[in-house]
Structures are given as C-alpha cells and as structure tokens.
Structure 1
C-alpha cells in the first residue's frame, strides 16, 4: 500500500484491494456450496446430513475466525507507523493462538456433538452423515485457523490478490477431492457426504501450505521474516489480540447465528415456506459478500492510515467505502425488484415456492441498505481498533430488538413467516444507525482540528 493524496487515488486503491477480496469471499462461499450440492447428487439424506453439519459449523467458524481478524488492523497499523520489525512477532503469536483455538474447538466438540445431534429430530442416516462430516472436517481445523492468520497478514499489506489466487486455486482442489471421496473414484473409498468433509480438510492443509510457501519465498512477505525466528509464546500479546479479536468474533457470531435461530424458529411453518425462506436467505447472503468485502478493505486502509497518524485520510476512506456500498445496494435492490421471480427460479420450479421466494426477496431489498451501512462502518471501526461498541450494538440490535420483534410479528399478526424478516430488518436498521453514530464519534475524537484545517 502507499500514501494517497486525492479522492481519486483513494478510490483507485480501495477498488484495487476490494475486487480480490470480493472474489476471495465468493470463492470461500462456493466451497461450502460445492460440498452441499455434490453431496446432494449422491443422495438426499447425504445432502441433509452435510447441510445440517454445515449449518452447525459455519456460525462457530465465522465467530471464532473473527477473533483472528484482529491480526489485520494490528499489522496494518504497524506497517503504517513504520514498525515492520514488530510484525513477525505479532503474526506468529496469532498462529500460536489459532492452533489453541482449533484444539479447544475439537475438544469441546467431542463432548457436545453427539448430545446436540441426538437432540434433533433426525433420521438415523442423516444424523450419522452430519456427525461424520463434522468429524472429517475437524482434521482440517488447525490449518484452517492458522490460514486465517496468514491471510490477515497478507491482506494487511494490501496484497489481497495473493489471497484471491490461493482461494481460487483451492476451488478445483476441493471439487476434485469431493469427486474422488464422495463417489469413490480412482481407487478412493466411497464415503458419500462424509467424503466432502475429508475433501475440505485436505484442501485446508493444501492452501495453508501454499500460503506458508508464498510468505517464505516471495517479497514483500519474505522481508518480514515471519518464520525465520523462533518466538516463545507471549500471553501478553495474546491478550492484545484477544482484546480486539473477541469483540469482533462475537459480533460476527451474533450476526450469523441470528439467521440460524430464525431458521430454527420457522420450523413450525410448512415445508414450502421453509424452503422459500432458505432460498431467499441464500441469495441475500450472496449479495452480502459485496458490503462484507468493502468492510474488509476498509479495515486494511483505515488501519494503515491511522497507524501513520493520517486521520483525515482514514476518514476519507471510510466515507468513500460507505458511498460505494450504498450505491451497490441501490443497484442490487433494483435487480431484486425487477428480477425477483427469475432469481427465485434459480432455486425451484415449484410454483408455490417460486411465488413465496419472490415475496421474501422483496423484504431482502431492505436488508441491502442496512447491510450497506453497517458492514463498511464495522470495517472502518476495526481499522481504528474500536470494536467493543460494535459488539454491544450487534448483540442489542439483533438479539434484543430484532429477534423478539420478529417473533411477535410472526406469532401475533397475520404476517406469519414474513414477520421474522421484518424483525431482522428492524434489528439491522437499528444496528446500522448505532454503528454510524459511533463512527462519527470516533472520527471526531481521532481527527485533530489542526489537521482538518491543513487538509
């Protein structure tokens, strides 16, 4: 990354970072998509088992990996303040912490997985596939969490195209091993849906190895000597990472788990309604990759500028990113409004499900604007290392405001399942407003008046 002097230069640098991040996020989204769809072609029960296993794993993974995202603003600020000599120590401590988190997840999972699955009303084969899929996936947890730290380091240097290429290379690897292990091709055992878990675990080991190789052999990464020295465990540095990372992780967990909770509450509705909800939510999640990617790019750029004490530039990046997100939300909203039935047709041919999905997608219009505000603002705040208020705002807006409103609207009005979506929209809107106010306050306190006058 480099210092910029005009809005045009800032826009160019933001887009330069943003596009590879977006492609990376879509690639990661696709990996889970291939696991589910390829298992579905093996058998419906394998599809159900993998889908259930995945729905249990994704909120846990996204929340815990969010803790490791703290490495991004830490490295970005160190780079901006010309303290490159401290980067290797921070990254290695992040790797140590990631290994401990992975081991802790596997240990806890060994105790709660069976009671959790047994508590669900599942057919025996579906329960078995879900259980074994998660066990297979656990073989790749250590490299997966370590890769998240290494990716944060690479991205923090502004080299987002590198992580894009690593992710894109992982997709054919994942699909090939899925084909071998799900269907038992070329001498591999035929494992059904469970095979996708092993395939994904193998993929995690491969992409982590690729990342380590690139960091050791390619500039500018090799200049930092990440793996050149042995560093002892530093619990004080872990504390610094956790101080920033835990609120980030919980914020992400509260955001992802609220949709899982709504899905569980909607189990009382008929199959067509549930299927329509899932289809519309899947497409809304796909569109969310846009503001999420902007958020990640802003964390890097704002952190870099804050580290260099260029608070006016950090402020400009925040508002440019927010403007892009709102513009894209308007564009996506027009697509949803005009083509919602065609979009619904991607998921189903059933006329009832098609109609209901189109109606759910109308509500997704309102998701777009709130996401376009809250996601980039969260990213900017992380660049400032301001994460505690985000955590509190997310908890209150989603779980104390959004979910209760949704339950009341769905239970005590004629809106039915759409009531839950109104609750989610209300929660997202409150969260977006609170976070925007927080960003304004942070920028005011971190932006000396004398610097603003100079600008």
Structure 2
C-alpha cells in the first residue's frame, strides 16, 4: 500500500501512460519486418536468408536516419515543459527538412553500395534474390523518415496514441499485401520475395500520408502552427538538430550495424544458420521494441522535467524507466530460455534451423536484461540532450569489444555460430554499464550545479 502512494509508483504510472502507445507503435514497426520474415519463410531457407541479408543492410541505413531524428522527441518535450507552443511547429518544419535531406543521402548510399555487395562474402543464390528485394525496399526510407519526423512531434507533446493508431493500420496493410503479393492471392500478381518489398513500401507510404494529414488537418494542433509554415529556415536550429542527431544516428548505427554485421558473419556459415539467426533476431527485436518504447517515453519524461527545470525529478524519471526496462526484459529472458525450441516453429519446420535457433536463444536469454538497460539509459540521456558521449560508448561496446569478440569466438576459438551471439552479449554488457554510469554522473552534475547557484 505504501508503494502505491510512493513517488516511484507515480512516476511509473506517468512513464507507462506515455510508453503504452509508443510500445504498440514500436511493435508495429517491428511487425512489418516480422510479417515479412514469417511469410517469406514459406519460400524456403534461401529466400529467408536473402531477406535476412538485404534487410540487415537496409536497416542499418534506416536506423541511422531515424537516429538523427530521435533527439527531436526530447526537444518537443522540453518545448512542452516550457509551454512555448509555437516553437513546436518551427521544430517540426525543420525536422521535416532534415528528414527529407537525410532520406536522399541514405537512398543514394544504398544504391552506391549495391554493385559491391560481393565484398560481404554471401553466396551467389543469396545475392541473386536479395539485390532486387533491397533495391525496392530502400525507397521505403523516404516515407519512413517523413512519418517519423511527425511521430517525434506527436510523441514529444504527449499525444503518443496518434502514432500508435497509424502504425496499427500500417501493419494490417503490410500483412495483407505481403500475403497477396508474395503468393499472388486474390488477383494480385505473384511476385515472390520482391512482393514483400512492395508491401513494405506501400504500407509505409500510406502511414506517412496519414500522419501528415492528421497533424495538419486537426484543429487540436493549431496553436503549434500559429506562425507561417512556409518561412525561411533557421540555420542555427538545423545545426543544433544535426549536432544532437548525427551522434545519435551513429549510436544507432553502431548498435544495429553490429547486429547486421553479425548476420553477415552468420552467412559465412551457410543458409541454415543464417535462417536460424533471422528467426532469433526477429523475436529478440520484438521484445526489444517494448523496451525501446520505454526508452522513448523516458526521453520524453526527462526532457519535460528538464524543460521545467526540475532536475531531481528528471533524474528520478530516468532511473525509474531503467528499472522498468530491466524487470520487463528479465521476464522475456525466462520466456526465451524455456520456450527456445517452440518459438522457431512459428517460422519453419526444418529441424536443423530450429535446433540452431534454440542454441541462439540461450544466449539471447542471458543478454536480455543488459539490452533493456542500455536501451532505456540511452533514452534517458537523450532527454538531457546528451548524445555525443553515448555515441562513443556505443562504438566502444559494439565495435571494439562485441564484434571482435564474437568473430574471435566463432572463427578462431572453435565456438562456431553461437560465438557470434556471445560477442553481441559482450557488447551489450559494456553498453548497459557505461550508459547507466553516464546518466548517473550527468544527472548528479545538474543537481550539483543547481545546489551551488
């Protein structure tokens, strides 16, 4: 009864109220890829492996772009805390400009890379099916970035259900189109693996259109757009967004790039371990999306309290979120361990793929808590507009400790494919410890500065 009246319980309620719709939206984003994986799995291990390889490359570029936009959520929350509502519209306009500019760069980057994909050492059949899929999927970066720039706005001002509803609609559209375009059902053309890319692209375009229309046509948002929408750009504001966003983009890149590099290395062992890896990572990513939603909510709570100047509450909000993330991922760890042979059967009935996936899930069960802590800690730091040091921590954790450790275990110490997952575990351990320590030091510093002024 005492806990129900405590400061921690009140903060947890505020956090979860924000996080709930964000989590549904994040799960929806992951469900688009999960649906692709499940339906593509019916085409066989080669198609699933090609999808895994292409998606691993695509997601690195997309996540880098989404990372650049990520700090704007805290900027919107801070604006809300200051009650400077016209600034919200100005921030959104500049965020949209950044989103479109970065999208063009990312699409160009993927197309420049495509002629050189053989450097990743994939088998010929993987590249033959994977390249057309990747070319088409890449164009979905553009609507994804536009959608995200508006979602950062609605999330930052506390209207987290907007993105949730639009994402749910997008998932339904994507699943139906995947089902129809891959196999040619209900009069749609039978397109195989490429049909999955078309489904993702169409769904993401519809989502972006709905988000833009909802924000600009809804009178509830009118007070954010009291100043002219078409106006000159503030170069300093764009520089500030990029100053915060580019390090965050690299933070996302270092983490997701590590997992994508792990998929590339897994491909060196053949199509069976790679298919098992894709199954494992898709389910692990689903659990991670919930924690990522808590991290985004944490950035909103911390950013809002920073805008109000209540640094003690900002610190409390951040650590409450970290605890919630750790507890949730601990429960997921138990599920992955005890159901490790059952989960893969949702995707395939190949006994070899199922057995490899079960082995990978043992390692996943260990790293779940560390993954949850680092995801929420980095969100809390983003709420304090701290992005540069977390980027350095991510590079060290994943690219100095994690990936080299995984490579050594897999290819030089005789552990095999499981060693790659053990390397990811090493990276997550370092990331969770260092990021939490960084939040502790930075939030204490704010409190100390207040006390001395």
- TM-score by length of structure 1 reads 0.90
**2:24 corresponding residue in structure 1:** 23
- Check if 1:267 corresponds to 2:296: no
Measured in 1, the distance between the counterparts of 2:69 and 2:423 equals 30
Question: 1:274-303 CA deviation, whole Å, 9 max, x = no partner?
Answer: 444443333222221222111111011111
Are residues 239 and 448 of structure 1, via their aligned partners in 2, closer, same or farther at CA, if it must alter by over 3 Å?
Answer: same
**2:411 corresponding residue in structure 1:** 411
Moved more, 274-283 or 240-249: 274-283
**1:317 corresponding residue in structure 2:** 317
What stretches of structure 1 of length at least 5 have no aligned partner? none
Measured in 2, the distance between the counterparts of 1:246 and 1:395 equals 14
**2:39 corresponding residue in structure 1:** 38
Are residues 130 and 227 of structure 1, via their aligned partners in 2, closer, same or farther at CA, if it must alter by over 3 Å?
Answer: farther
Mapping of 1:231-380 within 5 angstroms?
231-269=231-269, 271-380=271-380
Are residues 46 and 354 of structure 1, via their aligned partners in 2, closer, same or farther at CA, if it must alter by over 3 Å?
Answer: closer
SS of match in other structure, 2:401: helix
Query: By how many angstroms is 1:46 displaced?
Result: 5.0
Query: By how many angstroms is 1:423 displaced?
Result: 2.2
- Check if 1:112 corresponds to 2:116: no
Residues 407 and 423 of structure 2 are in contact (CA less than 8 Å); yes or no, is this contact kept in structure 1? Answer: yes
Query: By how many angstroms is 1:185 displaced?
Result: 5.4
Query: By how many angstroms is 1:88 displaced?
Result: 1.0
Measured in 2, the distance between the counterparts of 1:226 and 1:336 equals 50
Query: By how many angstroms is 1:268 displaced?
Result: 3.9
Are residues 406 and 298 of structure 1, via their aligned partners in 2, closer, same or farther at CA, if it must alter by over 3 Å?
Answer: same
Query: By how many angstroms is 1:25 displaced?
Result: 1.1
Query: By how many angstroms is 1:170 displaced?
Result: 0.8
Measured in 2, the distance between the counterparts of 1:110 and 1:29 equals 24
Query: By how many angstroms is 1:45 displaced?
Result: 5.7
Query: By how many angstroms is 1:257 displaced?
Result: 1.2
Residues 140 and 201 of structure 1 are in contact (CA less than 8 Å); yes or no, is this contact kept in structure 2? Answer: yes
Are residues 420 and 179 of structure 1, via their aligned partners in 2, closer, same or farther at CA, if it must alter by over 3 Å?
Answer: closer
Measured in 1, the distance between the counterparts of 2:153 and 2:329 equals 29
- TM-score by length of structure 2 reads 0.90
Question: 1:22-67 CA deviation, whole Å, 9 max, x = no partner?
Answer: 1111111111222344345467665554443222211110112110
Are residues 283 and 205 of structure 1, via their aligned partners in 2, closer, same or farther at CA, if it must alter by over 3 Å?
Answer: closer
Residues 92 and 226 of structure 1 are in contact (CA less than 8 Å); yes or no, is this contact kept in structure 2? Answer: no
Moved more, 442-451 or 239-248: 442-451
Are residues 128 and 422 of structure 1, via their aligned partners in 2, closer, same or farther at CA, if it must alter by over 3 Å?
Answer: closer
Are residues 48 and 8 of structure 1, via their aligned partners in 2, closer, same or farther at CA, if it must alter by over 3 Å?
Answer: closer
SS of match in other structure, 2:339: helix
Are residues 172 and 228 of structure 1, via their aligned partners in 2, closer, same or farther at CA, if it must alter by over 3 Å?
Answer: farther
**2:171 corresponding residue in structure 1:** 171
What stretches of structure 2 of length at least 5 have no aligned partner? none
**2:383 corresponding residue in structure 1:** 383
- Check if 1:59 corresponds to 2:55: no
Measured in 1, the distance between the counterparts of 2:181 and 2:312 equals 53
Query: By how many angstroms is 1:118 displaced?
Result: 8.3
Mapping of 1:19-168 within 5 angstroms?
19-41=20-42, 46-116=47-117, 121-123=122-124, 127=127, 129-168=129-168
Number of residue pairs matched by the alignment? 448
Measured in 2, the distance between the counterparts of 1:106 and 1:451 equals 49
Query: By how many angstroms is 1:325 displaced?
Result: 1.4
